[in-house]
Amino acid sequence: MERVDSIITAGMVLPSPFTAPIHDGAVAIQNGLIVDVGPKEAVLSRYDAARLLNRPSSLLMPGLINCHTHAAMTIFRGMADDLPLKIWLEEHIFPAEAALTPELVELGTELACAEMIRSGTTSFVDMYLFEDVVASVVDRVGMRAWLGEGVFDFSTPAFKDGANALQETERLLNKWQGHERITITIDPHTPYTCREELWLKAMKLADRTGALLVTHLSETEWEVQEMKARVGRSPVAYLDSLSLLNERMLAAHCVALSHNDMELLTRRGVAVAHCPESNLKLASGVAPVPALLRMNGRVCLGTDGAASNNDLNMFGEMRTAALLHKGVGRDPVVMSAPDVFAMATLWAADALHRPDIGRCERDCRADLVILNMDMPHMTPCYNPLSQIVYAANGAEVSDVLVNGASLMENGKLLTIDEARLLSRVKQLCLN
């Protein structure tokens, strides 16, 4: 028998959104990689494990991937609700962020990690400030993340201008290069907060390093009209005129899109991070995701920050994405459970150019989540995908692994002192 680090057995194993579940299944893990998936008896007959985790009443599935958030903004949760995006951002969030410190970013990021782990997220894409601090928290906590320092034309609490933010980005690319769980991205904030010169410098750095370019794009109709007034083009067409749209770009929101915009995004291979709950709460609108998918566009799913969502729960985001587009399109077939689950796993991995995550299959990283199915709202289970998208709410998550290492076991966080964290948050944010 081959010796492995660990074997997990479960009542059901769901390898991917488009693969049938394995009943009474098991997964063998060695050096952070899944080396075998199959029926429990077959896996146990082939491997001897240093650690055996038995979850007979549970569902084992790929970890969820949050493709757009601002993790440290958990400290602003509930601070300025029920406002339009422009007022919310410019009159409330920007002034609050002016007082940001590395200590607050560290605290907010750890709080975000605790929330995401508890609700089954193993990887996230973050754009914010003091991103080196964010990286240090992720390194300690054990999650997987794509992290980018927000680049603006104006000063931030972290840097006096965009050029300095890009210099920091290059430093972070060098510092975290080769890390198995942390990837640095290049993050111009939006077309309307970054001048053409800054965008071109960002793309030059991306071309030289191969890094992903992450931005907010066409989030509101106001943004579209603003860019048309400035440059005579929509935000999408403007970036395309600068030869900035390509398969290494991850564009968040993409709510206010024309047919031509959608064609450009699809033709250039840009990945779109759909954030339905934040877009609804800020009344930005509804992204035309079904139309993008019909055009073979690349779409994934994100929560946005907790200041505009107000949570980081990807189960809620999946359910909202599925129901929203059915209602808007008056089509019960659109945005099926497999498609929405793929947006949070398989297609998210594609957007990040990581075919070794987002699936529970051989030779993939062991980024896994276990759901307790022995709960009233999860019983009976005729279709696990439907249960995940339409019934689960994150409370079912009992165990979370990233790279084969347990971050939560039997509902207990292992890499975060939760009681101390919550006490510090209350002390620093409410006093």
**Contact call for residues 246 and 311 (beta carbons, < 8 A):** no
Beta strands 187-188; 22-30: pairing state = unpaired
Would 223 be classed as within a structural domain?
yes
Cβ 353 vs Cβ 46: under 8 Å: no
Rounded CA-CA distance 285/276 in Å is 9
Query: 207: which 2 tokens?
Result: 């071309």
Q: Give the separation between CA 380 and CA 388, rounded to whole angstroms.
A: 13
Using N-to-C axis directions, what is the helix angle for 162-175 and 196-209, rounded to 10°?
10
Examine the domain organization and report whether 200 and 132 are in the same domain. yes
Concatenated DSSP letters of 152-206: -SS--SS-SSHHHHHHHHHHHHHHTTT-SSEEE-BEE--TTTS-HHHHHHHHHHH
Q: Are residues 373 and 342 in the same domain?
A: no
Which amino acid is residue 220, in one-letter code?
Answer: T
Q: 245 lies in a domain? A: yes
Q: Are residues 332 and 373 in the same domain?
A: no
Residue 79's Cβ-count burial label (10 Å; 0-12, 13-18, 19+) is middle
Contact 303, 312 (CB under 8 A): yes
Domain with 7 in it: 2-61+367-413
Q: Which residues contact 87 (CB under 8 A, 6 or more apart)?
A: none
Q: What is the CATH number of the domain that holds 20?
A: 2.30.40.10
Do 338 and 289 belong together in one domain? yes
Contact present, 265 and 252 (Cβ < 8 Å): no
Residue 405 domain-assigned? yes
Q: What is the pTM of this model?
A: 0.97
Structural domain contains residue 161: yes
* Residues 107 and 230 placed together within one structural domain of the fold: yes
Do 85 and 139 have their domain in common? yes
Q: Do residues 235 and 375 share a domain? A: no
Which residue bears the tokens 């048309």? Answer: 228
SS3 at position 382 = coil
User: Looking at the 3D structure of the chain, how many domains does it have?
Assistant: 2
Could you tell me the strand order of the sheet in which 298-301 lies?
Answer: 213-217, 249-253, 271-274, 298-301
Shared domain for 165 and 130, answered yes or no, is yes
- Residue 356 belongs to some domain of the structure: no
Q: Which amino acid is at 191?
A: P
Pairwise CA distance, residues 169 & 149, whole Å = 6
CATH number for 143: 3.20.20.140
Residue 146 CB contacts under 8 Å (≥ 6 apart), including other chains: 123, 124, 125, 126, 183, 184, 185, 212, 214, 352
Is 80 strand, coil or helix? coil
* Six token digits for residue 346: 């398989």
Q: pLDDT tens for the chain, 431 residues: list them.
A: 899 999 999 999 999 999 999 999 999 999 999 999 999 999 999 999 999 999 999 999 999 999 999 999 999 999 889 988 788 888 998 888 888 999 999 999 999 999 999 999 999 999 999 999 999 999 999 999 999 999 999 989 999 899 999 999 999 999 999 999 999 999 999 999 999 999 999 999 999 999 999 999 999 999 999 999 999 999 999 999 999 999 999 999 999 999 999 999 999 999 999 999 999 999 999 999 999 999 999 999 999 999 999 999 999 999 999 999 999 999 999 999 999 999 999 999 999 999 999 999 999 999 999 999 999 999 999 999 999 999 999 999 999 999 999 999 999 999 999 999 999 999 988 76
Both 146 and 16 in one domain: the answer is: no
Whether residue 126 is contained in a domain is answered as yes
User: What residues does 128 pair with on adjacent strands?
Assistant: 149
Q: How far apart are CA 396 and CA 315, in angstroms?
A: 10
Q: Is 361 among the domain residues?
A: no
Position 159 in a domain: yes
**Whether 140 and 215 share a structural domain:** yes
Q: How far is CA 372 from the centre of its chain?
A: 23
Residues 94 and 53 in one domain: no
> Domain check: are 91 and 237 in the same one?
yes
